[in-house]
Chains A and B, each alone.
Chain A
Amino acid sequence: MQPDLAGLRGQLEKIVGVDGVGADPAVTTRLAVGGLVPGLCVRPGTQEEVSQVLATCAAANAAVIPRGGGTAMGLGNRPSRADVIVQLDRLDRIVEFDAANLCVTVEAGVKLAGLQKMLAEKKEILPLDPPADSRVTAGGLVATNASGPSRLLYGTARDWVLGMRVALPDGERIHCGGKVIKNVSGYDMNKLFIGSLGTLGIVTEVTFKLLPAPATRAGVVGLFPELSQATAAVATILESVLLPEALDLLDPEAVALLAPRLGLEAPAGAYGLAVALAGSAATVERQARDFSALFRDRGGRTFPLPDGKTVLAWDTIRNVFGLLPVPPATRVLCKISVPIGRTGALLASAGALGRRHGMHATVMAHAGSGVVWACYLLGPKAPPDEVLGDALEGLRREAEAAEGSLILQDAPASLKARMDVWGKPGEGFGVMRRLKAEFDPRGLCNPGRFLGGL
């Protein structure tokens, strides 16, 4: 049954006001997901309104797609339907900042960078650092399980979310977890919603655990003529007692992009290892010394990141693909996850794939976490979609053979039409399907975008 969008529009206007609903093609076209232009866009102003919007859409049999900062709208397969975009930017309130208990509760639309700024005033941090944090929202971060370099020391959203409120597909509002750091009351529902890409409901509020801000920060970059030297250094670091905050492996293209901005004298073809250090002055100084010595022993040269500019430098490093001078529509961004020890091998394969097919490839890896990011530019010499798709499937097979995965974080619709963004569902998919059926029996929340069409 096709939803009656004109009727729905009137109902939604009653909830959020006339200004809160957009139907102008000029607006909705810009909000297209996977090429699918939504009929309506709605901007609820409160969590209660989100729930009313969902209930109303459900009653009208309209499919909804939540949207936060818009940084991950390229993630996922083409949705099977896109009737209403639920835009969460007006949910931008800090609900509670309990500095003494190291936790903060925010609405889904709160932007991460702004939140960090507020926390910094009380010398606290939320140790999650995905790229584009000036646009990433709390809700989007959680729904997409976004992460960055410092996941090495701190982990990911699943390690920092204490509680959340969710509007379920039928509009029912629930809360999960709480604000205490140990909590086994009932199922750990937070985990179910983290990374579920809005397919089980819309996260409207998140409570995060926080950390005291480190007293000192510093960073060093090692440059190595050969990849094998860099990966040997990684192995030595991971076997050591050292506790870097981040350990990013950079291929020569990434090094070339970053060198002028970080003040590195990088010979062509050099691989980089960027290390972030955080803690007391004593431990940071000692680690900077140890890393320099360790890089030297492995045949590398060390460059300290400029004093006082470490945070800025890391902002540049984790946003390295943003330095590429092309619009997102002409690139393919892959995220490969493998067991830690295989990181270097997959980084090499991802780079080789680009060279083999005449594409400019930039590859970086969170080397202590087994996460490789490869960005391919689709220039004039790029292969046709079927060739590229086959090549990426080959890379995916290599990741899967190592018990890992490859997903297309962002890619043109034509490539997604040939290649599943997530790969084939693995064991336990039956349970995932039943979870989807329990929470969203009519398949109205982000339909078709997630793994296996969930």
Chain B
Amino acid sequence: MVPKPFVDELRQIVGKANVLDSAVNLQLYQYDAYLEERRPDAVVFVSSTDEVAGVVRVCNKYDVPFVPRGGGTNLSGGTIPFKGGVVIEMIRMNRILEVDRANLRARVQPGLFNLELGTALAPLGYQYLPDPASQKAATLGGNVAENSGGPHCFKYGVTTNHVLGLTVVLPDGEVAKIGGKAADTPGYDLTGTFVGSEGTLGICTEVVVRIVRLAEGVKTMLAIYDSIEEGSETVSAIVAAGMIPATLEMMDQLVIKAVEESIHCGLPLDCATVLIIEVDGLMDDLEAQTQAIVDLCKAHGAREVRVAKEDAERALLWAGRRGAFGAVARITPSYLVCDGTVPRTALPKVLRRVAEVSKKYNLLIPNVFHAGDGNLHPLILFDWRDADQKARVMKAGMEILQLCVEMGGTISGEHGVGLEKIDAMSLVFTEADIRSQVRVKQAFDPKNLANPGKMFPLPEEVRRAA
């Protein structure tokens, strides 16, 4: 519970109607796309940097924790107010402040949906490259907090490679512009440190991103395989041939079936896996690249390779891929999305081992993944009403992460640590590594008010263990 004067002060800043504290309202903000829940003490709708700073200052004054929230699509519990306190709802700060073509930058507010930026830029001939599959509902502020990836990261990098500057409200309420339209700002790279910090270092209220011209040409292919092994081996073969496609996406049979039933994008139901491969760039060699890839797919056992002939066909393929997580919900009421990453060449092996985990725990685990980056998303299906199943799911999830680490990979490629993977951090980091990360947290947030209880054990515990 938070004291009444605290809530009154919040209302003075954002107006009475913009602070929610009734039980019914709070219930709507106690979950995200992960499996845990925790009710906040208040929800505040903000519409400016000043308001965010004001709210954070009040939180600081009363030592109340706060968690920024955008689209609520987080898959690791990053948005759940684990220690209670205030959820700061950023969704109204959703304007594009500036499209600066001369400097190849855009300045946007954090509540803007990723897709909306793309939609606004496309008619001008530009794009913002990071494109998480959830882009319809995921905000750019959330993308910044999670350092989001997406299908196009293999060639173009993740969010951090495209964010050049931020306006942040630090956990004590100070507002700072860090980085900006110019490169190489003197001093530590606070922007790079902030991106991916999962709301634990403060709240960004403005984002300066790189925009680039739309590619002159794009070719999208669908390669169909009767064996998942052959599909994943093709991925390495393409890279070994010196090509970096814009995307190399893979879905297995269970996912294909679910996608086909919900989106009807023409995927064959009897195959083991499909690869969605896209090449882009200058027109001059796209045909040749496409042909080379088609040949490689066939040489590695693809039974058929379709090349999208028109935009509509391409869009349909992508609708299928982007709709995969949603479509899988047709199979069971719940699922846990794993998000491990391995070196690309380890994919065939890790997929075999995931199949073993599936058998061992008697759980269905369909797979959809960014094969080019070695980032896999096994979806562990279950029914949340069955406590025994849920326990098995958590164990299976942890085992899959362990597999990834064993193969030289890591515990999260793009969904974040949040609540879900606090325990898994020790799979990849030593105590000294984690202590050094806690030093960063202490420098930004000495009172531990910004999204506390995420990413690593609480600072005081880490310190005590030291």
Interchain nearest-CB distance for A92 vs B (Å): 24
Cβ of B39 within 8 Å of any chain A Cβ, yes or no, is no
A165: nearest chain-B partner, CB-CB: B433
| CB of A90 closer than 8 Å to a CB of B | no
CA distance A52 to B341 in the complex (A): 33
B2, CB-defined interface residue at 8 Å: no
Residues 169-209 of A, flagged 1 when their CB comes within 8 A of B and 0 if not, give 00011111011111111111111101110001000000000
CB-contact partner of B196 in A172, A188, A425, under 8 A: A188
Q: How many Å lie between the Cα of A235 and that of B429 in the bound state?
A: 46
Is B112 among interface residues, defined by CB-CB distance under 8 A?
A: no
Residues facing A in B271-289 (CB within 8 A) are 281-282, 284-285, 288-289
A211–B345 alpha-carbon span in the complex (Å): 16
User: Is B153 in contact with A182, judged by CB distance below 8 angstroms?
Assistant: yes
* Residue from the list B188, B240, B433 in contact with A195, Cβ < 8 A: B188
Q: How far is the CA of A39 from the CA of B146 in the complex (A)?
A: 46
Q: Could you tell me the distance between the alpha carbons of A369 and B104 in the complex, rounded to whole angstroms? A: 10
Q: Chain B contacts of A454 at CB under 8 A?
A: 187-188
| Cβ A283 vs Cβ B341 within 8 A | no
Q: What's the least CB distance linking B426 to chain A, in Å?
A: 11
Given contacts A178-B410, A431-B176, contact A101 B186 (CB under 8 A): no
A407 within 8 A of B: yes
Interface centre among A155, A187, A402, A404 (most CB of B within 10 A): A187
Contact A100–B236 (Cβ < 8 Å) = yes
Chain A residue at minimal CB-CB distance from B147 = A184
Partner of A196 from the list B188, B411, B456 (CB cut-off 8 Å) is B188
What count of chain B residues pass the 8 Å CB interface test?
A: 94
Chain B: minimal CB distance from A248 (Å)? 15
Given the complex of chains A and B, what is the CA–CA distance between A371 and B102 in angstroms?
Answer: 15
Q: Are the CB atoms of A182 and B284 closer together than 8 Å?
A: no
Q: Which residues on the A side are within 8 Å of B187 (C-beta)?
A: 422, 425-426, 428-429, 432, 450-452, 454
Contact between chains at A185 and B412 (CB < 8 Å): yes
Quick check: is B205 within 8 A (CB to CB) of the other chain?
A: no
Residue in B181, B244, B412, B433 whose beta carbon sits within 8 Å of that of A339 in the complex: B181
Tell whether A158 is near chain B: CB-to-CB under 8 Å.
yes
Q: Does B353 contact A (CB under 8 A)?
A: no
CB atoms of A189 and B104 under 8 A apart? no
The verdict on B105 contacting chain A, using a C-beta distance below 8 Å, is yes
Report which of B103, B174, B282 forms a contact with A340, defined as CB distance below 8 A: B103
- Report A420-454 CB contacts with B as 1/0, cut-off 8 Å: 00110111111110110111000000000011101
On whether the beta carbons of B282 and A241 are closer than 8 Å, the reply is yes
Residues of B within 8 Å of A437, CB to CB, are 443
B285 and A403 contact, CB distance less than 8 A = no
B344: Cβ under 8 A from any A Cβ: yes
Q: Do the beta carbons of B102 and A188 come within 8 Å of each other?
A: no
Complex Cα distance A235/B103, Å? 10
A186 near B429 with CB under 8 A, answer yes
With A98-B343, A155-B161, A188-B196 as known contacts, state yes or no: A339 contacts B182, CB within 8 Å: yes
B411 contact set on A, CB distance < 8 A: 185
Q: Quick check: which of B25-33, B311-319, B369-377 contacts chain A, the rest being far away?
A: B369-377
Q: Is the CB of B373 within 8 A of A182?
A: yes
Q: Is A265 engaged at the interface, CB distance under 8 Å to the other chain?
A: no
Q: When the two chains form the complex, which single residue of B161, B186, B429 contacts A451, counting CB atoms closer than 8 Å? A: B186
Bound-complex Cα distance A339 to B434 (A) = 36
Find the B residue at minimum CB distance from A405. Answer: B186
Contacts A184-B413, A286-B284 given; indicate if A403 touches B182 (C-beta within 8 A). Answer: yes
Q: Contacts of A239 on B, CB cut-off 8 Å?
A: 101, 213
A195, B147: Cα distance in complex, Å: 20
Q: Which of B184-238 contact A (CB under 8 A)?
A: 184-193, 195-197, 213-216, 236
Please report which residues of chain B, range 418-451, place their CB below 8 angstroms from some CB of chain A when the two chains form the complex: 421, 425, 428-430, 432-437, 439-444, 446
Looking at the assembled complex, report how far the CB atom of B294 sits from the nearest CB atom of chain A, in whole angstroms: 17
> B440 to A187, Cβ gap below 8 A?
yes
Q: Which of chain A's residues have a CB closer than 8 A to the CB of B416? A: 184
- CB contact under 8 A between A403 and B373, given known A191-B160, A452-B187: no
**B193→A187 contact, CB < 8 A:** yes
Q: Are A337's CB and B213's CB within 8 A?
A: no
| Cross-chain contact B428 with A185 (CB below 8 angstroms) | yes
Say whether B373 contacts A235, CB under 8 Å. no
CB-CB < 8 A to B387: which residues of A? none
Q: How near does chain B come to A51, taking the closest CB pair, in angstroms?
A: 10
CA distance in complex: A425, B289 (Å): 48
Check A213/B242 contact, CB under 8 A, given A182-B373, A280-B284, A422-B186: yes
Which residues of A have CB within 8 Å of B443? Answer: 431, 434-435, 437-438
Alpha-carbon distance A341/B344, docked complex (angstroms): 39
Q: Is A26 an interface residue (CB 8 A)?
A: no
Contact, CB under 8 Å: A158 / B186? no
- Are B101 and A192 touching (Cβ within 8 A)? no
Asked if residues B196 and A184 are in contact (CB atoms below 8 Å), the reply is yes
Chain A CB within 8 A of B336 CB:
no
Is A287 in the interface zone, CB < 8 Å from B? yes
Q: Is the CB of A438 within 8 A of B442?
A: yes
- Verify if A338 is at the interface (C-beta below 8 Å from B): yes
Known: A180-B373, A371-B183. A212 touches B244 (CB 8 A): yes
What residue in chain A is nearest B177 (Cβ atoms)? A427
For the complex, give the distance between the alpha carbons of A200 and B436 in Å.
Answer: 11
Is B120's beta carbon under 8 Å from chain A?
A: no
Set of chain A residues within 8 Å of B193, measured between Cβ atoms: 187-189, 191-192
Distance to closest chain A CB from B88 (angstroms): 20
Q: Please determine whether B183 and A337 come into contact, CB atoms closer than 8 angstroms.
A: yes
CB–CB B102/A181 < 8 A: no
Asked whether B284 lies within 8 Å of A179 as measured between CB atoms, the reply is no
Q: Is the CB of A188 within 8 A of B342?
A: no
Per-residue CB contact flags for chain A residues 231-257 toward chain B (1 = under 8 Å, else 0) read 000010011111100000000000000
Least CB distance from A147 to B in Å reads 8
Whether, in the assembled complex, B252 has its beta carbon less than 8 Å from a beta carbon of chain A, the answer is no
CB proximity to B under 8 Å, residues A386-439: 402-405, 407, 422-423, 425-432, 434-435, 437-439
- Nearest residue in A to B282 (C-beta to C-beta)? A283
Cα distance A182–B187 in the bound complex, in angstroms: 25
The distance in angstroms between the C-alpha atoms of A100 and B374, with both chains bound, is 12
Interface string of A215-243 (1 = CB under 8 A from B): 10000000000000000000100111111
Decide if A310 is an interface residue (CB 8 Å cutoff): no
Task: Report Cα–Cα, A426/B168, bound state, in Å.
Answer: 14
Residue of B158, B425, B432 near A173 (CB, 8 A) is B432
- Max chain A Cβ within 10 angstroms of own Cβ: one of B101, B240, B443: B443
Residues of B within 8 A of A188 (CB): 147, 160, 192-193, 195-197
The digit string for A351-368, where 1 denotes a CB below 8 A from any CB of B, is 000000000000000000
Is B301 at the interface (CB under 8 A from chain A)?
Answer: no
- A sample of 23 cross-chain residue pairs with beta-carbon separation below 8 angstroms, ordered by A number, consists of A100-B236, A100-B344, A101-B345, A178-B409, A179-B408, A180-B374, A182-B149, A183-B410, A184-B412, A184-B416, A186-B425, A186-B455, A187-B441, A189-B436, A195-B188, A196-B188, A287-B282, A337-B184, A422-B186, A428-B187, A431-B443, A450-B187, A452-B187
Which 3 residue pairs are nearest across A and B when measured between Cβ atoms?
A191-B192, A341-B102, A212-B242
